[in-house]
Structure 1
Amino acid sequence: MKSNGVFHGKNFIISSFIFIIFLCVLASINEVRFDALLKFGQCAFTRSYTQNSTNSTAIASSSSSSSLSSGEEIRILIGILTIPDHYHKRHFLRLVYGTQPLVGARVDVKFVFCNLTKEDQKVLVALEIMRYDDIIILNCRENMNKGKTYTFFSSLPDMLVNETNTSHPPYHYVMKGDDDVYFRLQNLVDSLNPLPRQDLYYGYVIPCPSMDPFVHYMSGMGYLVSWDIVEWVRDSDIPKKHLEGPEDKVFGEWLRDGHRARNRHNAKWSMYNYPEPHTGCTHELWPDTIAVHLLKNQEKWIRTLNYFNVTKDLKPSKLYHIP
Structure 2
Amino acid sequence: MKPLKSEKRSFIILCFFIIISLCIYASINEARLEDLLRFTRGCDAANNSSSTSSFSSLSTGGGDDIRILIGILTLPDQYLKRHFLRLVYGVQSVEGAKIDVKFIFCNLTKEDQKTLVALEIMRYDDIIILNCPENMNKGKTLTFFSSLPDLFNDTDRPYPPYHYVMKADDDTFLRLPNFVESLKPLPREDLYYGYVIPCRSMDPFKHYMSGMGYLVSWDIAEWIKESEIPRKHFEGPEDKVFGEWMREGRRGKNRFNGKWSMYNFPEPPTTCTHELWPDTIAVHLLKNQVKWIRTLKYFNFTASMKPSKLYHIP
TM-score, structure 1 as length reference: 0.77
* Residue 161 of structure 1, CA deviation: 1.0
State how far apart, in whole Å, the 1-side matches of 2:130 and 2:159 are. Answer: 22
What residue in structure 2 maps to residue 34 of structure 1? none
1:217-228 equivalent positions in 2, closer than 5 A: 217-228=208-219
Aligned length: 254
What residue in structure 2 maps to residue 93 of structure 1? 85
State how far apart, in whole Å, the 1-side matches of 2:96 and 2:217 are. Answer: 18
State how far apart, in whole Å, the 1-side matches of 2:158 and 2:179 are. Answer: 22
Instruction: Note if 1:268 corresponds to 2:259.
Output: yes
Instruction: Note if 1:135 corresponds to 2:127.
Output: yes
What residue in structure 1 maps to residue 69 of structure 2? 77
State how far apart, in whole Å, the 2-side matches of 1:167 and 1:202 are. Answer: 25
1:171-182 equivalent positions in 2, closer than 5 A: 171-182=162-173
* Residue 162 of structure 1, CA deviation: 2.8
Instruction: Note if 1:239 corresponds to 2:230.
Output: yes
* Residue 312 of structure 1, CA deviation: 0.4
Instruction: Note if 1:312 corresponds to 2:303.
Output: yes
Instruction: Note if 1:293 corresponds to 2:287.
Output: no
What residue in structure 2 maps to residue 6 of structure 1? none
| 2:135 alignment partner AA | N
**SS of residue in 1 equivalent to 2:142:** helix
| 1:244 alignment partner AA | E
For residues 39-88 of structure 1, the C-alpha deviation after alignment (integer angstroms, 9 at most, x for no partner) is xxxxxxxxxxxxxxxxxxxxxxxxxxxxxx99510000000000000000
| 2:141 alignment partner AA | T
**Unmatched segments (≥5 aa) in structure 2:** 1-60
1:206-221 equivalent positions in 2, closer than 5 A: 206-221=197-212
State how far apart, in whole Å, the 2-side matches of 1:167 and 1:149 are. Answer: 27
| 1:270 alignment partner AA | S
* Residue 150 of structure 1, CA deviation: 0.3
State how far apart, in whole Å, the 1-side matches of 2:219 and 2:166 are. Answer: 13
What residue in structure 1 maps to residue 39 of structure 2? none
**SS of residue in 1 equivalent to 2:122:** helix
For residues 118-151 of structure 1, the C-alpha deviation after alignment (integer angstroms, 9 at most, x for no partner) is 1110111011001000000000000011000000
* Selected match of 1:102 from 94, 108, 111: 94
State how far apart, in whole Å, the 2-side matches of 1:166 and 1:124 are. Answer: 33
**SS of residue in 1 equivalent to 2:148:** helix
**SS of residue in 1 equivalent to 2:160:** coil
Distance 1:167 1:177, change over 3 A: farther
What residue in structure 1 maps to residue 192 of structure 2? 201
State how far apart, in whole Å, the 2-side matches of 1:271 and 1:107 are. Answer: 19
Distance 1:317 1:124, change over 3 A: same
State how far apart, in whole Å, the 2-side matches of 1:235 and 1:242 are. Answer: 14
What residue in structure 1 maps to residue 136 of structure 2? 144
**SS of residue in 2 equivalent to 1:312:** coil
Moved over 6 A (4+): none
Distance 1:71 1:232, change over 3 A: closer
**SS of residue in 2 equivalent to 1:106:** strand
**SS of residue in 1 equivalent to 2:72:** strand
TM-score, structure 2 as length reference: 0.79
What residue in structure 1 maps to residue 246 of structure 2? 255
* Residue 166 of structure 1, CA deviation: 2.4
| 1:134 alignment partner AA | D
Instruction: Note if 1:230 corresponds to 2:221.
Output: yes
